[in-house]
Structures are given as structure tokens and as C-alpha cells.
Chains A and B, each alone.
Chain A
Amino acid sequence: AQRVTQPEKLLSVFKGAPVELKCNYSYSGSPELFWYVQYSRQRLQLLLRHISRESIKGFTADLNKGETSFHLKKPFAQEEDSAMYYCALSAALNNAGNMLTFGGGTRLMVKP
């Protein structure tokens, strides 16, 4: 069975400070990992996925299979980054679907 762990429930940093939101996973297959973000009063939305190897809003995440981690990083936090962040792993379902297994989430607060 797959599992995603986000060890920090809350991360508080000052504006301009570096940010790292931790995510560890366990999965017997080849993982596909995502970060989702939920801003206040908004719906859950995809931030980035590891296969895209892209930087979105200054955030990056690298899949480390050896450490089974997919930490989210940003060199300089902005106040508008304050939100709830969820790490998620995609596992194939029968019949071509796929389900997301989410971590418990980390609330990022960026103070002015």
C-alpha cells in the first residue's frame, strides 16, 4: 500500500526566507508525485508534478528515490505563498484510472 507523510503540520517563516516543505512516501511501484496547494477559501489545485520538472511560482521539487522524498522548495518565500500544501502520490487503479494518496498537509505561513 502507498503512504505519504508530511511531518510538519505548520511551517512559519519570514518573507524572503527559504522554504522547504518535507514529503516522504512509500510505494512499491514507480511513483508519480505531485504537490497540491489550497489557498484560503479556494479549491485544491495542482502546483507541480515531478515528471514535468518545472518551477511554478518559484517552487521546485525533486524526486529522490533513494530517500523516497519529494520535498518542495522555494528560495525566497512571499506572503502570497501562505496556504495549505499537500503532497500526493498517484497510484494506478484497475481500468486505467488513478487515485491520489495525500499526505496530511503542511500549513505554510509567511510573515511580513
Chain B
Amino acid sequence: DTGVSQDPRHKITKRGQNVTFRCDPISEHNRLYWYRQTLGQGPEFLTYFQNEAQLEKSRLLSDRFSAERPKGSFSTLEIQRTEQGDSAMYLCASSSGGNKKYFGPGTRLTVT
């Protein structure tokens, strides 16, 4: 197991386009988190899944953002009608309970 993986690693899109990112957690981890990190800042919490259930969403997650984890394994994060302010690194993390989280390498989104 190579840890949490994310795809794509980089995405450049034009304003107004939709984008979707994928996260594959460590296989036995039932908890999955999405964070967003903008330049010069620490990561900020976006949303949390336990198995397939999305149990928490930050106020940062506007209506244009949607996340799913349909089978309790991989997760997708979709951003509709992207804006330049959406440019950031999107991080996924997983855990099996407790507070130790394993982070993926991130997807860097650039909206032009």
C-alpha cells in the first residue's frame, strides 16, 4: 500500500469549467477528509466522510462544491463553474479512527 493517492496531481482549467478530483484512501481507512490549501496558508477543512456517509461540511464548501464517496472507498470532489478564487491545493486525508491522519500528495488546481 503506497498510502493515500490523488488524481490528477495538477489541473489547469478555465473559469466557468467544471473539474473533478479523485482521492483513494488507504484501503482499511473508513474516514476520509478533504482540505484546501491556498498559497501561504495552512490547510483548511472542507468535508468529512465516514464510510460512504458525508457527515460534516465546512462553510467553506459553497454550493458549487460537491463531494461523494459512493462505496465507502474512493472519493471525488467536484467543483462546478470554477472561479479564480478556487485556485488552491486540494488535499485528501484518511484515517482509521483516532487522530492520526495520512495525507495524499494533493491536487493543485489553477483556474485561469
Contacts and interface: CB of A to CB of B under 8 A. Distances in A.
Contacts, number: 60
B101 A46 contact: yes
Contacts of A93: 48, 55-56
B101 A100 contact: yes
Given A93-B55, A95-B55, A43 B103 contact: yes
A95 B50 contact: yes
Interface residues of A, number: 26
A90 B99 contact: yes
A32 B55 CA distance: 21
Contacts of B106: 43
B43 A99 contact: no
Interface residues of B, number: 25
A17 interface: no
Contacts of A43: 3-4, 103-106
B33 interface: yes
Contacts of B40: 9, 104-105
Contacts of B48: 93, 97, 99
Interface of B: 3-4, 31, 33, 35, 40-45, 48, 50, 53, 55-56, 91, 97, 99-101, 103-106
17 contacts: A9-B40, A32-B99, A34-B99, A45-B103, A49-B100, A93-B55, A95-B53, A96-B50, A97-B48, A97-B55, A98-B99, A99-B48, A99-B56, A100-B43, A102-B43, A103-B42, A104-B42
